[in-house]
Structures are given as structure tokens and as C-alpha cells.
Chain A
Amino acid sequence: MSETVNGVVFVILAFASIGGAVGMLTTRNIIHAAFWLLEVMVAVGGLYLLLSAEFLAVVQILVYAGAISVLMLFAIMLTLRCREDSVCPVEISIGGGVLSAVFGTVMYVAVARYGDRIAEMPASVPDTAALGELLFTKWALPFEVASLVLLVALVGAVWWSREED
């Protein structure tokens, strides 16, 4: 018993996410780049829905598309002295291009060789209620540690960004 992913939806979402990433890297305006990143995050949320991870899709939209994009825009706008500061030429980095080309080739070879060893998609998928139950039983300790990490990061961010007097 197996399921399939809707190919048309996958191609649309893949095109949206890769196009958004390319747009983020090629735009000259950093504010436009932040909005391209938001588009990538929403497209990846759609991919999570395709993978029947509904809770993660909602968290992705809330955390990445909601909170982190707003945080990015705040940081950009707080560090611009004038409107022209947001536009800067796209710099071409040979070293970065070579590094990512090598990495991409290695990844392509790895996926092409070993990607199809995984069997087809299993049909039985637990729902969000099962995920919540597991999160608060089996994964309760990591969950508490994660909340501690968030608390420390919050305090640290406030401490770092306060005005020196």
C-alpha cells in the first residue's frame, strides 16, 4: 500500500522555492531579498503539507514567514541610514561559486546514486494529535531544553541590542 505525491503541485512549489531563492540572491535591493525569502518560506510550508506534516507547515508559516521575516525587515530598516543604502550592486564571488558548484555536484551525485534506495511513500500517517502526544511523552525532555534555549536566546538578544549608557 503506497501513496503518491501530486506531481503538478510539487513542481509548482519547487519552482516557487527555487525561483524565490534565486531572486533573493540576484536582487540588488536588500528589502526585496527579504520578501523573496518570505516567498521561499511559504513555498516550503506548502511542501510540508504535501509531505503530510500539517503541524510543521503551520509552524513554518508562523515562525519563518511571520516572525523571522518581520525581524529581518526590522533589522534592515534599523541599519539603513538613507533610502539609497538598501540598494547595492550584486557582487559575484568566484570562490563562493566554485565552492557551491562543488557542493552541488557532490549532492547531485549522492542523490542520483542513493536517492532511489528508499522505497515508495508509505500510506499510514499519524495525524497532528499523535505528533502532539509523542512530543509531550517521548520528546518531553528535548522540548523543555528547546524552551530553555529560546529563553536564553531571548535574554541574550535583549542584552546585546540594548543601548550602552
Chain B
Amino acid sequence: MTEIGPSAFLGLAAVLFTLGLYGAVARRSAVMVLMSLELMAVAVNLNMVALSRFVTPGEMTGQFFAIFTMVVSAAEIGLGLALVLAIYRQTRSVELSAIDSLKG
């Protein structure tokens, strides 16, 4: 059995965050961008839980931070999707390139 240290978890979280970052920048659909943001939030949570397990297992500080991050990202995704629906009602599209009414 191989030894799995904290670096493995940190590296996995970094890979997930990088993939989410690429998705958030590259995709044009607003819903896809929100999904990529969720991927990034999950990567951050994984980081915090791993560090909590390896550094402060007694206080579980990272776990509490992860709980509050989950609350914030759940609120963010609810508001984001409501915003997407409102924009869809105005422009009949969820493409980010269609949302340019503030462009000078």
C-alpha cells in the first residue's frame, strides 16, 4: 500500500481548481460558468478538509470553514441561477456574449 500524504490531496485539489478555472474562463454558457465555479469551490473545500485532517484534527477548524464555504456557495449558486433565469427572460439567451447591454 502506498503512502498518501497531504501533498496528494493538495495536488488533486489544485488540478480540480485549475480545470474549474479553465471552464469558468473558456465556456460561453452562463450555466456552464456557474458549474465551473462550483468545481472551484469544491476544490477549495477539499483543500481545507485535508489540511484540517493533517494539521488540526482536534479543533476541526478546516471542517467548519468548509461547512461555511458550502453555505456561501449554495447561496451563490441559487442567486446565480435565478439571475440566469432573469437574464434569459430579457434576452432569450444564456450565452455570455449576448449579455452586452452595458458595453460602451
Query: Which residues of A approach B to under 8 Å, CB–CB?
Result: 4-8, 10, 14, 17-18, 21-22, 24-25, 30, 33-34, 37, 40-41, 44, 47-48, 51-53, 55-56, 59-60, 63-64, 67-68, 71-72, 74-76, 78-79, 81, 88, 91-93, 95-97, 99-100, 103-104, 107-108, 111-112, 115-116, 118-122, 124-126, 130-131, 134-135, 139, 142, 146, 149-150, 152-154, 156-158, 160-161, 164
A10 to B48, CA, bound (A): 17
Q: State A139–B58 Cα separation when bound (angstroms).
A: 15
Main DSSP-derived SS at the B contact region: helix
Residues of A within 8 A of B20 (CB): 21
Residue of A nearest to B22 (CB): A100
B contact residues, total (Cβ < 8 Å): 72
Whether the Cβ atoms of B5 and A115 lie closer than 8 Å is yes
Smallest distance from the beta carbon of A71 to chain B beta carbons, Å? 6
Interchain CB contact under 8 A, A71 and B57: no
Contact between chains at B11 and A108 (CB < 8 Å) = yes
Cα–Cα distance between A41 and B16 once the two chains are bound (Å): 11
A-B contact pairs, 12 of them (CB 8 A): A5-B8, A30-B31, A47-B9, A56-B67, A78-B85, A79-B94, A115-B11, A120-B5, A134-B59, A146-B72, A149-B71, A164-B89
Task: Name B residues whose Cβ lies closer than 8 Å to a Cβ of A.
Answer: 1-12, 14-23, 25-29, 31-32, 34-36, 38-39, 42, 45-46, 49-55, 57-60, 63-64, 66-68, 70-72, 74-79, 81-86, 88-89, 92, 94
Q: Are the CB atoms of B38 and A68 closer together than 8 Å?
A: yes
Given contacts A10-B8, A56-B63, A67-B74, contact A160 B83 (CB under 8 A): yes
Give chain A's interface secondary structure class: helix
- Closest 4 pairs (CB-CB, A-B): A115-B7, A96-B25, A153-B75, A93-B26
Give Cα distance in the complex from A142 to B70, angstroms: 13
State the CA gap A34–B31 with chains docked (Å): 9
